[in-house]
Amino acid sequence: MKKHSIKKLYYSISEVSKITDLEQYVLRYWESEFEQLKPSKNRAGNRIYTNRDIQLILFIKKLLRDERYTIEGAKQVLKNWSPEAETGEQLELISVPPKAPKIKDEKLRNDMIELKKFLEGLLEKMK
């Protein structure tokens, strides 16, 4: 399978919140619960998330919200999780919420549109 990359290397917590359709406080809480989720921080002390972090967040979201795992159960599943694994199950998790919020910042909006197109294309190729 051909590897694709998203142009942006790092995302702020507000961007990740919009991409994953999760509140920022949920993302911060999950950091305290899941040892695999440890975004770096920039010089100002703000969290910066990578594409791998976003994949992990979407996987955790699927486990907790869709598959109804408890946090402890999800921790057990995550012991064997790898974002590099090229299985349909894990790549399927890369998705943008169908109803994206209105973004006023034009550059951020364009970045989100580009990310959405990339992810939709990736999912289409997997089918």
Mean pLDDT for the stretch of residues 12-20: 94
Q: Which pTM does this prediction carry? A: 0.61
pLDDT for residue 14 is more than 70: yes
d(CA 76, CA 92): 20
Q: Which pLDDT belongs to residue 23?
A: 97
Count, in order, helices (H) and strands (E) of the chain. 6, 2
pLDDT for residue 85 is more than 70: no
In the chain, the domains with their CATH numbers are 13-126 (1.10.1660)
Band (pLDDT 50/70/90 cuts) for residue 17 is: very high
- Six-digit token string for 114: 């580009």
Mean pLDDT for the stretch of residues 42-60: 94
